[in-house]
């Protein structure tokens, strides 16, 4: 049988009604066991495959959630997807994935596509450059819940699951202080990202707690290019008393900073410590690496986000009556070697 066997085909062959076949296949107890068996047997022989489009259409429910991330190449998101998929699967939900490639325009299209496909809810790690949140307001308006994760929107009023960046930064800085460092630089992320500042807060709180003075000159923002990091390091190392340790916004940045030292100040390489966000599996192969990483539990974040979304989907409370929901996932300090 080519072109999709349907219930009707089976019904005709067995001289029963379509509804009987439908019920038999879904194990409806009002259908006699022998009938169920006959139907299943033929369905199997004929390779019957239910048409989900028709089911969804009929049921006006897809049991599918949409997941939008900036970039699949970033393992951080890949891991979050795994977490979300696990939770979704446990509730018989499917997940469809799409990437914005950091393009807000593409992101808009994806949201539209997913709404047209009638996903039951949306999980979104927003693209870096998004300013206008109207698409998501429109989404909320249609009654499709949206949970943001990892990358919260700048604007308030949206449900979100993010890692506890402030405390992670605190822990990293504290670790360096406890190792005896008194002059600690913060290689900050882009100023356009709110997380850069959240981590700055944690850095400052650690300094405060251990009575170390805060010095603005010890904080330099970089984008994620190697050149920017090199430039920042050049300026750091020109200071009268350069930092003896650095807290890096991301470990990728720390690696570039270490690379700079390798090239320009090899003698200092052993004495200067780094700690940064993001645990990278390949770190173990490096001879010179950060002494500690702050690991964001992105798997757990994916799980939490999915859980929150499913809860919201099944919520009876109307959108308006519900308070904004925020969940923070704690970060782990990982000491290397």
Chain residues binding DNA by CB under 7 A are 4, 6-8, 15-20, 22-23, 25-26, 29-32, 34-35, 50-51, 54-55, 57-60
Contact 120, 139 (CB under 8 A): no
30 binds, among DNA, its own copies, none (CB under 5 to 8 A by kind): DNA
CB 121 within 8 A of CB 66: yes
Q: Is 49 in the site for its own copies (CB under 8 A)?
A: yes
- At a CB cut-off of 8 Å and minimum separation 6, what does 302 contact? 79, 80, 81, 82, 83, 84, 85, 86, 87, 123, 149
Place of tokens 């904004």: 324
Q: Which residues pair with 98 in a beta bridge?
A: 68
Q: Which does 286 bind (CB under 5 to 8 A by kind): its own copies, DNA, none?
A: its own copies
Q: Give whole-number Cα distances, 244 to 147, 216, 218, 241, 273, in Å.
A: 41, 16, 11, 9, 7
Alpha helices in the chain (DSSP H): 7-14, 18-25, 33-45, 52-59, 75-90, 104-116, 134-142, 165-178, 194-209, 226-237, 251-264, 298-314
Binding mask 78-117 for its own copies (x = CB under 8 A): xx-xx--x--------x-xx-x------------xx-xxx
Residue 162's SS3 state is: strand
Determine contact, residues 173/201, Cβ cutoff 8 Å: no
Whose Cβ is closer to its own copies: residue 93's or residue 203's? 93
When asked if residue 33 is in the footprint of its own copies (CB under 8 A), the reply is no
Q: Which does 40 bind (CB under 5 to 8 A by kind): DNA, its own copies, none?
A: none
Q: Does 259 bind its own copies (CB under 8 A)?
A: yes
Q: Is 44 in the site for its own copies (CB under 8 A)?
A: no
Which of its own copies, DNA, none has residue 228 at its interface (CB below 5 to 8 Å by kind)? none
* Least Å from the CB of residue 213 to its own copies: 33
Tell me the three state secondary structure of residue 122: strand
Dihedral, CA atoms, 122, 124, 129, 130, nearest 10 degrees? 30
**Which of 23, 38, 40, 118 contacts its own copies by CB under 8 A?**
118
| Torsion 18-23-27-32 (CA) sign | negative
Q: Is 286 in the site for its own copies (CB under 8 A)?
A: yes
334 part of the interface to its own copies, by CB under 8 A? no
Retrieve residue 70's tokens: 């900036």
Question: Rounded to whole angstroms, how far apart are CA atoms 52 and 155?
Answer: 37
Under rule CB under 8 A, residue 308 binds its own copies: no
- The stretch near its own copies (CB under 8 A) out of 57-65, 125-133, 160-168, 216-224 is 57-65
Q: Does 47 bind its own copies (CB under 8 A)?
A: yes
**Between the CA of residue 79 and those of 72, 76, 205, what are the distances in Å?**
10, 5, 30
Q: Which does 96 bind (CB under 5 to 8 A by kind): DNA, its own copies, none?
A: its own copies
- Interface with its own copies, residue 285, by CB under 8 A: yes
Token readout for 330 is 């704690």
Question: Is 237 among the residues that bind its own copies (CB under 8 A)?
Answer: no
The CB-of-251 to its own copies minimum distance in angstroms stands at: 10
- The interface region with its own copies, picked from 72-80, 228-236, 240-248, 307-315 by CB under 8 A, is 72-80
What residues line the site for its own copies (CB under 8 A)?
Answer: 2-4, 47, 49-54, 56-57, 60, 62, 72-73, 75, 78-79, 81-82, 85, 94, 96-97, 99, 112-113, 115-118, 138, 141-143, 255, 258-259, 280, 282, 284-288
């Amino acid at each position: 049988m080519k072109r999709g066997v349907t219930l009707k085909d089976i019904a005709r062959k067995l001289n029963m009604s379509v509804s009987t076949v439908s019920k038999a296949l879904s194990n409806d107890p009002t259908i006699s066991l022998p009938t169920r068996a006959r139907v299943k047997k033929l369905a199997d022989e004929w390779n019957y495959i239910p048409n989900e489009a028709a089911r969804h259409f009929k049921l006006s429910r897809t049991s599918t959630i949409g997941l939008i991330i900036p970039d699949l190449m970033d393992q951080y998101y890949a891991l979050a997807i795994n977490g979300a998929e696990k939770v979704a699967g446990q509730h018989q939900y499917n997940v469809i994935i799409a990437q914005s490639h950091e393009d807000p325009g593409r992101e808009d299209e994806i949201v539209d596509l997913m709404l047209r496909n009638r996903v039951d809810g949306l999980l979104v790690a927003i693209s870096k450059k998004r300013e206008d949140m109207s698409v998501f307001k429109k989404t909320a308006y249609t009654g499709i819940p949206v949970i943001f994760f990892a990358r919260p929107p700048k604007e308030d009023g949206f449900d979100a699951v993010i890692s506890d960046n402030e405390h992670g930064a605190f822990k990293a800085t504290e670790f360096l202080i406890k190792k005896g460092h008194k002059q600690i630089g913060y290689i900050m992320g882009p100023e356009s990202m709110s997380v850069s500042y959240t981590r700055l807060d944690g850095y400052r709180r650690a300094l405060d707690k251990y009575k170390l003075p805060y010095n603005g000159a010890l904080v330099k923002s970089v984008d994620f290019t190697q050149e920017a990091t090199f430039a920042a390091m050049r300026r750091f190392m020109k200071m009268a008393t350069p930092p003896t340790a650095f807290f890096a916004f991301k470990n990728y940045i720390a690696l570039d900073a270490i690379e700079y030292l390798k090239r320009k100040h090899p003698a200092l390489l052993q004495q200067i410590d780094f700690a940064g966000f993001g645990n990278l599996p390949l770190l173990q192969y490096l001879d010179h690496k950060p002494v500690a990483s702050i690991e964001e539990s992105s798997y757990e974040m994916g799980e939490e986000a999915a859980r929150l979304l499913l809860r919201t989907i099944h919520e009876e409370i109307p959108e308006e009556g519900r308070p904004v929901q925020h969940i923070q996932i704690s970060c782990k300090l990982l000491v290397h070697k």
